């Protein structure tokens, strides 16, 4: 999450000047606004990007950035065979 916060904050600062000068058009403004929304989700709400509520257009923009917290999570647990309880049939 810290990596995503640092990345998004840097992207916002890099694109802020372009947005203020209206360079890049509508797409640059949409991406800037979305990145601010992502930063708020990560810092204020303390949620990962994959847990946010995104439109299809927002997802397309987010996919370009390949944020770590947007990726699926798989939890693996190593357990000995003796440590696993057998399912009971009623």
Tens of pLDDT, residue by residue over 5-63, are 999 999 999 998 888 888 888 888 999 999 999 999 999 999 999 999 999 999 999 99
Residue 80 lies in a domain: no
- Read off the CATH number of the domain in which 24 is found: 1.10.150.300
Tell me whether residue 56 is in a domain.
yes
Total tally of structural domains belonging to the chain: 1
CA distance 19 to 11: 12
The answer on pLDDT for 79 being more than 90 is: no
43, containing H or E segment: helix 25-43
SS3 21: coil
Can you tell me whether residue 77 is helix, strand or coil? coil
The pLDDT assigned to 21 comes to 84
Q: What is the pTM of this model?
A: 0.75
Can you give the pLDDT at residue 86? 64
Residue 79 lies in a domain: no
């Amino acid at each position: 999450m810290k990596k995503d916060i640092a990345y998004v904050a840097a992207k916002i600062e890099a694109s802020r000047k372009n947005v203020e000068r209206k360079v890049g058009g509508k797409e640059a403004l949409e991406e800037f606004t979305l990145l601010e929304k992502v930063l708020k989700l990560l810092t204020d709400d303390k949620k990962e990007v994959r847990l946010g509520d995104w439109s299809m257009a927002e997802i397309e923009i987010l996919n370009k950035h390949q944020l770590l917290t947007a990726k699926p999570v798989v939890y693996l647990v190593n357990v000995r065979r003796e440590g696993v309880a057998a399912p009971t049939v009623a």
